[in-house]
Amino acid sequence: MKILVVEDDASISGPLRDGLIREGFGVEVATTGGQALVAAPADLVLLDLGLPDLEGSVVCQRLRATTNVPIIVVSARGDEIDRVMLLELGADDYVVKPFGLRELVARIRAVTRRTSSADLAPTSSPAIVAGPLSIDRRSRQVVFADDIVELTPKEYDLLVYLASDTGAVRSREQIIHDVWDEHWWGSTKTLDVHVASLRKKLHPDLIETVRSVGYRLVELPAAER
């Protein structure tokens, strides 16, 4: 497995590269956003936000526009706004510095397991239709009220999970276990961020909060937009 580390600080990228190599990963280091955007394809990207030429958020957005490669943002900035913004732009996970190598490796393996599982998921019943919402799992195309909606990979996974049993209440713990990973290290706020993003992109009433339990997807009238 090849990892692209996008980090301009050699005192961080050097030990990180060495540690990941010891864990059995192949590693390439890019020191600028420009280098990251033209680097050879990787299986996962570790992306620092504080780059000298481009904002990490811009690099994340441009990578996501051309590839579904898993992206884990690594930053000293743990502000909630940063997390919301980056997840909306397509990041799959967010790690705040300082972090331990064991935690980072666990995150990497969790993200790649989720990606592999999604790619291997059976598509014998590829279409999901719930009122104005239509999901084609073969093409991963989402349509709402006749408009194609662009989702990040994790937004798509969450939507399919909820839409596969419309009306069923899913607990927060169940969603994190099934859509993220049973060994998820991060905050469950990640789930709230993705739900908020889906509501914004699709419809504010499509995903209903069930207080003290979790969420469920409801079937809106076909005329809803």
Q: pLDDT of 31-63, one tens digit each?
A: 999 999 999 999 999 999 889 999 888 999 899
Strand partners, 93: 72
Q: How confident is the model at residue 96 (pLDDT cuts 50, 70, 90)?
A: confident
Neighbouring C-beta atoms of residue 24, cutoff 10 Å: 8
Distances (CA, A) of 214 to 62, 68, 183: 33, 28, 19
Asked if the model's pLDDT at residue 224 lies above 70, the reply is no
For residue range 155-191, list pLDDT tens digits in order: 898 999 999 999 999 999 889 888 876 555 555 678 8
For residue 16, the SS3 value is helix
pTM over 0.75: no
What domains can be seen in the chain, in order of their start residue?
A: 2-120 (3.40.50.2300), 127-217 (1.10.10.10)
Which has the minimum average pLDDT: 26-35, 50-59, 87-96?
Answer: 87-96
